Structure 1
Amino acid sequence: MSLAPRAVLVHRTTEYEELVARHGTHGQAAFFLASRGRDIAEVADRHRRTREALTEVAAAVPLTWRQARLERQDLDRFLFGPEDVVVVVGQDGLVANVAKYLTGQPVIGIDTDPGRNPAVLVRHRPRDAAALLASVPARAGRSDDLTMVEAVADDTQRLVALNEIYLGAAGHQTARYRLGLDGDRGAVEPQASSGVLVGTGTGATGWLRSVWQERGAGLPLPGPTEERLLWFVREAWPSPATGTSLVSGTLTDASRLHVTVESDRLIAFGDGMENDALQLTWGQTVRVGVADTRLRLVS
């Protein structure tokens, strides 16, 4: 007997909740903001809209389904099942945060603050939740399979991300490594830089785009479903021992960027989740390229 679908509602702590937790009460938080020329009403209003959206979406889950709520900070401790339908209630970035923990489960993005969010990934309003949830089990709803990026270390550590993977030093120290491309023995270069960024077409609306605008050098941005990535070395430093000739390029599903660590410790993390990073030590090699998994985003 198969399990009934489970709707997993993913959300995050609001700015208002963070303020009250830090200052103790609404009044103290309001005083703190007022003393700096800010009004807590705007933050409280966004909190109210977010909670109302979460309540409306929860009420739209079919009665025969199971239901779970999951806060962003608990993502790395939650076990998703194959029968799950993931409903992200919040911002675009929250969809990216959850993507790395999924293996093909459908994702519905619900925008809690229309007009403030770009709504690239949270494409729907709370009132649409009932119809969207009903369409998923029958596969009647249309979805996009978004390309993801992966980093695989030589000790089998693996990381996937929807927007981008950053590889560099924890903090602001210089990262030292040897960078090369699979299949091209001549293309290996020792480098010292602020790190390496590898991004997808979905990431082309965020951090990757900001680097591309400064350093695009004619490289076309990939589309969200295109099996192509862009990579950039950030602030490569020329010296007698390090070069700057390999600083940007394109990766397809048949190519990989490889980085061999020559620092005491480097990390690789995806989509801003630094608390869930690969830990890499001197001599280790990590390869970065198109992931074999996709994010199934209901459109």
Structure 2
Amino acid sequence: MSLAPRVVIVHRTTEYEELVARHGTHGQAAFFLGSRGRDIEEVAERHRRTRQALAEVSAAVPLTWRQARVERADLDRFLFAPEDVVAVVGQDGLVANVAKYLAGQPVLGFDTDPGRNPGVLVRHRPGAAPALFPSVHARNTGADELTMVEAVADDTQRLVALNEIYLGAVGHQTARYRLGLEGDGGVVEAQASSGVLVGTGTGATGWLRSVWQERGSALRLPHPSEERLLWFVREAWPSPATGTSLVGGELAGPAGLRLTVESERLTVFGDGMDTDAVELTWGQTVRVGVCGERLRLVG
């Protein structure tokens, strides 16, 4: 007998919950915010909207289905099943946070704070959940296949991200490495920089766009579903031992960027989650390119 469908509701602790946990009571949290010119009522109201959205989405799961909840901090310890329907309740960034742990499961993003969030990835209101869940399970609802980026180290460590992958020194000190493009005549350059950023079309609305704009790049930003990435070296430093000729470009299809560590330690993390990173040491090599898997985001 097959199991009933399961909806996994992904959420994160609200700012209000974090404040009360840190300061002990509502009153103490209010005093802390007040001393910094903020009103706790605005924070508490956003908390109430988030809890209401979670309640609406949870209540919309059909009675014969199973459901589970996972907080953002516990994603790396949660086991998603192939048949799961994933409901992300929160901000756009939470969809990116969960993407790396999935393998083709459909994702529904529910916006808890319309008007405050861009709504690029959390495209639905909680009130739409009762109609969406049965439709997604029956595969009658279309989904966008969003390109992701992956980094694979020579010791088989692997990291996947929806927006971008950052490679740099721990503590944001100067990163030292050798950088080269596959199929580029074997050209490799020793560099010292603030790190390397490799982003997707989804990431083109965030950090990647910021670097692209600041650089004044003539490269076209990729579309979220396009199998093309942009990469930029941040603040490359010219010296007798390090160069600045390879500081940006694109990776299309099977093309890859290879980086060999020339410092004691280098970290690789995706979508801002530096607590879930790949750690590399001197002499190790990591390849970054388009990921074979995609995020199935229901539109």
Q: Same fold (TM over 0.5)?
A: yes
Could you give the per-residue CA deviations for residues 127-180 of structure 1, whole angstroms, max 9, x where no partner exists?
Answer: 001111110121111110000000000111111000000001111211000000
- Aligned equivalents of 2:95, 2:256: Cα separation in 1: 25
SS of 1:171's equivalent in the other structure is helix
Structure 1 residues 285-294 or 274-283, which shifts more? 274-283
* Correspondences of 1:25-40 after superposition (within 5 Å): 25-40=25-40
What residue ranges of structure 2 are gaps of 5+ in the alignment? none
TM-score, normalising length: structure 2: 0.99
- Aligned equivalents of 1:254, 1:37: Cα separation in 2: 51
Cα distance, 1:216 vs. partner? 4.0
Hey, what does 2:281 align to over in structure 1? 281
SS of 1:133's equivalent in the other structure is helix
AA in 2 matched with 1:20: V
Hey, what does 1:205 align to over in structure 2? 205
List 4+ stretches of structure 1 deviating above 3 A: none
Hey, what does 1:71 align to over in structure 2? 71
Hey, what does 1:136 align to over in structure 2? 136
Task: Note the aligned Cα RMSD (angstroms).
Answer: 0.7
* Correspondences of 1:16-31 after superposition (within 5 Å): 16-31=16-31
Answering whether residue 170 of structure 2 is matched by residue 178 of structure 1, we say: no
Hey, what does 1:2 align to over in structure 2? 2
Could you give the per-residue CA deviations for residues 197-218 of structure 1, whole angstroms, max 9, x where no partner exists?
Answer: 0000000001001000011420
Cα distance, 1:33 vs. partner? 1.3
- Aligned equivalents of 2:279, 2:33: Cα separation in 1: 39
Hey, what does 1:246 align to over in structure 2? 246
Answering whether residue 263 of structure 2 is matched by residue 259 of structure 1, we say: no
AA in 1 matched with 2:82: P
- Aligned equivalents of 1:7, 1:242: Cα separation in 2: 51
- Aligned equivalents of 1:112, 1:217: Cα separation in 2: 35
Hey, what does 1:126 align to over in structure 2? 126
SS of 1:287's equivalent in the other structure is strand
Hey, what does 1:59 align to over in structure 2? 59
AA in 2 matched with 1:285: T
User: Percent identity, aligned pairs only?
Assistant: 81
- Aligned equivalents of 1:54, 1:186: Cα separation in 2: 52
Whether the aligned pair in 2 keeps the contact of 1:198 and 1:229 (CA below 8 Å) is yes
SS of 1:22's equivalent in the other structure is helix
TM-score, normalising length: structure 1: 0.99
- Aligned equivalents of 1:45, 1:22: Cα separation in 2: 19
- Aligned equivalents of 1:185, 1:265: Cα separation in 2: 28
AA in 2 matched with 1:130: P
Whether the aligned pair in 2 keeps the contact of 1:194 and 1:235 (CA below 8 Å) is yes
What residue ranges of structure 1 are gaps of 5+ in the alignment? none
- Aligned equivalents of 1:270, 1:34: Cα separation in 2: 34
* Correspondences of 1:193-232 after superposition (within 5 Å): 193-232=193-232
Whether the aligned pair in 2 keeps the contact of 1:3 and 1:83 (CA below 8 Å) is no
Q: How many residues align?
A: 299
- Aligned equivalents of 2:176, 2:283: Cα separation in 1: 11
AA in 2 matched with 1:13: T
- Aligned equivalents of 1:52, 1:293: Cα separation in 2: 33
Whether the aligned pair in 2 keeps the contact of 1:204 and 1:222 (CA below 8 Å) is yes
AA in 1 matched with 2:75: L
- Aligned equivalents of 2:95, 2:187: Cα separation in 1: 35
SS of 2:171's equivalent in the other structure is coil
